[in-house]
Chain A
Amino acid sequence: KQEVTQIPAALSVPEGENLVLNCSFTDSAIYNLQWFRQDPGKGLTSLLLIQSSQREQTSGRLNASLDKSSGRSTLYIAASQPGDSATYLCAVDPLMDSNYQLIWGAGTKLIIKP
Chain B
Amino acid sequence: NAGVMQNPRHLVRRRGQEARLRCSPMKGHSHVYWYRQLPEEGLKFMVYLQKENIIDESGMPKERFSAEFPKEGPSILRIQQVVRGDSAAYFCASSRQHNQPQHFGDGTRLSIL
A-to-B contact residues, CB < 8 Å:
4, 6, 31-32, 34, 36, 41-46, 49, 89, 91, 93, 99-107
Contact = CB atoms under 8 A, between A and B. Distances in A.
15 contacts: A4-B42, A31-B99, A34-B101, A36-B104, A41-B106, A43-B91, A43-B106, A44-B91, A44-B93, A100-B98, A101-B45, A103-B45, A104-B43, A104-B44, A105-B42
Contact of A104 (B42, B48, B56): B42
A102 B41 contact: no
Given A44-B91, A100-B56, A100-B98, A106 B42 contact: yes
A89 B43 contact: yes
Give the secondary structure class of A's interface. Answer: strand
A26 B109 CA distance: 31
Count class of interface residues, chain B: 20 to 34
Contact of B101 (A6, A46, A105): A46
Interface of B: 4, 6, 33, 35, 40-45, 48, 55-56, 58-59, 91, 93, 98-99, 101-107, 109
